[in-house]
Structures are given as structure tokens and as C-alpha cells.
Amino acid sequence: MAGQALLIVNPNAGSEAVDATDLAAEVKAILPGLELDVFETKGEWDEESLKRRFRASQYQLILIAGGDGTVKLAADCAWEHCPMAILPLGSANGLARCLGINSLDDALQALGKMETVGMDGIMIGDHLCLHLADFGFNANLIHRFEEGDSRGMIAYFKSSLAELFSTEISQFELETDRGKIQIEAHMLVIANGDRYGTGAVINPQSSLADGWFEVIAVHVQDVEDLIQLSKGLISGEKVDGKAFRHWTLKNCKIRNLSKAKFQIDGELMGTPSEIVVRIEPKIFRFVVNAQNLKAELDLRVENLDS
């Protein structure tokens, strides 16, 4: 691949220090024809600086080294600069996992092949959601996680279990073209992708580019539901059963009647009383590790048969 590319690096992502120069060298070794600019995030004014950079240059590829927050930042700023490639460095990296990219090695392998997929965006009010937004359990988890000083997957799992036992049931009203539905749930998820960063498959029907999003209500009522949910969160197994209700939609309104905490792609958004949601079909293009995705699909077929 030839042309100009931008490597966006969050040096603070995940639990290990990241060296932008080393990363750039690895990318150059795979894509020697690229002219590579590097942009290191600072944690403040990044959106403004990145937008300025995109106004000044036309990039053929955006490489994003960081966690979900950095991917979101890049996608917000670079709508017309597709394709994008994720080099996962975060503690969770849920979106990368949906693209078959579970590690930096997977990402570098994918760059060598440069296979891409189109991807929908979900607009929640004025905010872009690339992957997952939710009220309740997971937003509380992020809140708890941000308040603690621990990082990494083990801390995330521990927080998940603690949160499972402390989230209260919230009331929501879901308004669709077909009418209003009253919902009681521990968590109400708006999903583009199929899984959380832990690997938990919350939304097995989903595709990132089908022109639809899913709303999933999770209401844990008994021990069996709890086991399902914790298995999913801990081992990445598909979560399913009576605790889960799904709606497949192109737009909706959600009223947050109990003032549950809300998050979009890992970023806490307070407790909005109402949100308006709509799908923007295939506005992005991302590099995918097709080999991994195929292997996973085969694995899921096996699971269904067994």
C-alpha cells in the first residue's frame, strides 16, 4: 500500500508503556510504501489537535494504537479518512475484538492483508457510538473501574463480579415506530458490535454493517441468569436465556426513568433522562483480521451443534 497514513498512539493506553517510534517501525516494516505521520495523544485537547491535522492532510489510512476511547476519538475526527486499522493496546478493546483483532500480532497480520469491512455508526443525540452504549450495570462498572487505580483485565473481572451483586433494577421506556415498551432491567444495551471487551458475546445476531442496531435489556432474576451472565463476562461465552430481551431497530428513543448511569464506548455520559438513537449505515471502513473471524464463526457453528 502506498500513500500517506497517520498513526495515532495513546501512550497511556492499557497497562504497559507504549513506544510510538517502535510501533511506527513495526508498521513501516509491513507497509514500506507508506509515508507515516505519528500523532501521540496527550489526554487533553486531542480532538481539536487531531481535527486540525485532518484538515491539513488527506490520509489514505488511519492506524489507531490505543483502547476503545482512542478508537472513538479517531473515528469522531476522521469520518472521511477511511479505512482505519486498530492496533489494540487498551485494557478491553471491544471493537477490535469484533473485527477479529484480539492482539497487536493479530492487528499487524491484518495490516499485511489489508482486508476491510464497512461499518455502521450509531448516533446517540450528537454523540457517535461505534460499538456499545449502555445504561446500568456496565456503566456502573466503568465508573467503579475509573474510581479505582487498578488497570488491566484481572481488575476488570473483579470489578465485574462486585458490580453484578450491587446494580439495582432500573425502569426504562423504549419508544420505537411500533409504540412504547416499558422495561425493567439491570442493564439496557445499545449495540452495534456483538461483544464486550472481555469477549462476552452480548449480541450474537449482530453485524457491524447490517444497517441496524440492537437494544438488549438484561434483567437477572435468578441464579441461572447470574451464572449465564458471569460466564459470559468471564469466559467470553455467548450470553443468552430468559434474562435477555432483544429489539432490532433503525431508530428509537429511550427514557431513563430511574436515572441510571449511561456510557458510550467506555466514556461515562452522566444520567441523561432521554436519548434519541439512529443508525448511520456503513459510514466507516475498518481493517479486519478475516482469518480470525472465520475461525470464530466456525467455532460458533460447532457450539450450536454440540
Ligand X SMILES: Nc1ncnc2c1ncn2[C@@H]1O[C@H](COP(=O)(O)OP(=O)(O)OP(=O)(O)O)[C@@H](O)[C@H]1O
Residue closer to ligand X (CB basis): 50 or 183:
50
At closest approach, how far in Å is the CB of 129 from ligand X? 14
The long-range contacts involving 11-16, CB below 8 angstroms and separated by at least 24 positions, are: 11/40, 11/41, 12/41, 12/43, 13/65, 13/66, 13/67, 13/69, 13/70, 13/89, 13/90, 13/91, 14/67, 14/89, 14/90, 14/91, 14/151, 14/152, 15/91, 15/151, 15/152, 16/89
CA nearest to 136, candidates 187, 182, 205, 204: 187
The residue within the footprint of ligand X, chosen from 31, 92, 119, 220 (CB under 6 A), is 92
What x/- string results for residues 8 through 37 when contact with ligand X is judged by CB under 6 A? --xxxxx-----------------------
At closest approach, how far in Å is the CB of 294 from ligand X? 24
Residue 140: phi, psi to the nearest 5? -65, -40
Strands (E), 131-259: 132-136, 170-176, 179-185, 187-191, 213-218, 244-249, 251-256
Q: List, in sequence order, every residue forming a beta bridge with 280; answer none if it has no partner.
A: 121
Handedness of CA 73, 76, 77, 80 (dihedral sign): positive
Residue closer to ligand X (CB basis): 64 or 183:
64
At closest approach, how far in Å is the CB of 182 from ligand X? 32
3-state secondary structure of 19: coil
What x/- string results for residues 99 through 138 when contact with ligand X is judged by CB under 6 A? ----------------------------------------
Residue closer to ligand X (CB basis): 10 or 160:
10
All residues at 6 or more sequence positions from 126 whose CB lies less than 8 Å from its CB, including other chains: none
Please, are residues 180 and 174 in contact by the beta-carbon 8 Å criterion?
yes
Please, are residues 252 and 76 in contact by the beta-carbon 8 Å criterion?
no
Selected range binding ligand X among 89-97, 119-127, 220-228, 285-293, rule: CB under 6 A: 89-97
Residue closer to ligand X (CB basis): 70 or 160:
70
Residue closer to ligand X (CB basis): 91 or 289:
91
At closest approach, how far in Å is the CB of 19 from ligand X? 13
The residue within the footprint of ligand X, chosen from 91, 170, 198, 203 (CB under 6 A), is 91
Rg of the chain over Cα atoms, rounded to whole angstroms, equals 19
Q: How many residues form the binding site for ligand X (CB under 6 A)? A: 19
90 binds ligand X (CB under 6 A): yes
Q: List, in sequence order, every residue forming a beta bridge with 274; answer none if it has no partner.
A: 255
Q: How many of the other CB atoms lie within 10 Å of CB of 89?
A: 24
Selected range binding ligand X among 30-38, 50-58, 86-94, 97-105, rule: CB under 6 A: 86-94
266 binds ligand X (CB under 6 A): yes
Residue closer to ligand X (CB basis): 21 or 306:
21
Selected range binding ligand X among 24-32, 91-99, 121-129, 182-190, rule: CB under 6 A: 91-99
- Give the footprint of ligand X on this chain (CB under 6 A): 10-14, 41-43, 66-70, 90-93, 197, 266
